[in-house]
Amino acid sequence: MSLVSYGMKIAAIVGMAGAGKSEVSRLFVKHGFARIRFGDVTDEEIKRQGLELNEANERSVRERLRQEHGMAAYAKLNLPRINSVIKDSNVVIDGLYSWEEYLFLKDHYRDGIHIVAVWTSPGMRYERLMVRSERKLTLEEAISRDRGEIDNLNKGGPIALADFTIINDSSLDKLGHQTKQIITELG
């Protein structure tokens, strides 16, 4: 699919749990981007199976989907949603996970996709994860999730090769300013 023919852009947000990916995505939405959250696939599968929404079930479903569809599972499973929306709107992908998803999307959309990494120190992320209202994690769960995402999902590659990096270590105003600069640069 040629995004040039549509004149649209895709921004894929990547970062560790608690870095602020969803907040950055919300800011993109405020600037006219349609949001596709890769994790919705997990949530939908958990609901379909009648399971409780918690870290253990989320991890189990994520691992099973990747066994069935490969490490680019979430990019593949969300491709129809992206292609449907991109015809009418710029798209922000909330939660790019793996190196393989990165490669799949770069191969599919080429220069039409831009990777935005959101970085926050582990200590600050863990504090956020322990008090957030949705998908709250204990310190042990947060550390375990970090290790799993780095060791099993190859999450470091997309962060390292991001087109843009946001350092989310202070205020929402600073986060908003950095995000708006990226949106402006994307045109």
Amino acid at 167: I
Which residue has tokens 């990226």? 182
State the Cα–Cα distance between residues 177 and 180, nearest whole angstrom. 5
Q: Tell me, which fold does domain 3-182 have in CATH?
A: Rossmann fold (3.40.50)
**Count of other CB atoms within 10 angstroms of residue 121:** 12
Using pLDDT thresholds of 50, 70 and 90, give the confidence band for residue 105: very high
Query: Per residue in 52-104, pLDDT tens?
Result: 988 789 889 988 999 999 999 999 999 999 999 998 999 999 999 899 999 99
State the Cα–Cα distance between residues 167 and 63, nearest whole angstrom. 29
The pTM assigned to this predicted structure is 0.90
**Count of other CB atoms within 10 angstroms of residue 12:** 29
Per-domain residue ranges for the chain?
3-182
Query: Per residue in 106-120, pLDDT tens?
Result: 999 999 999 999 999
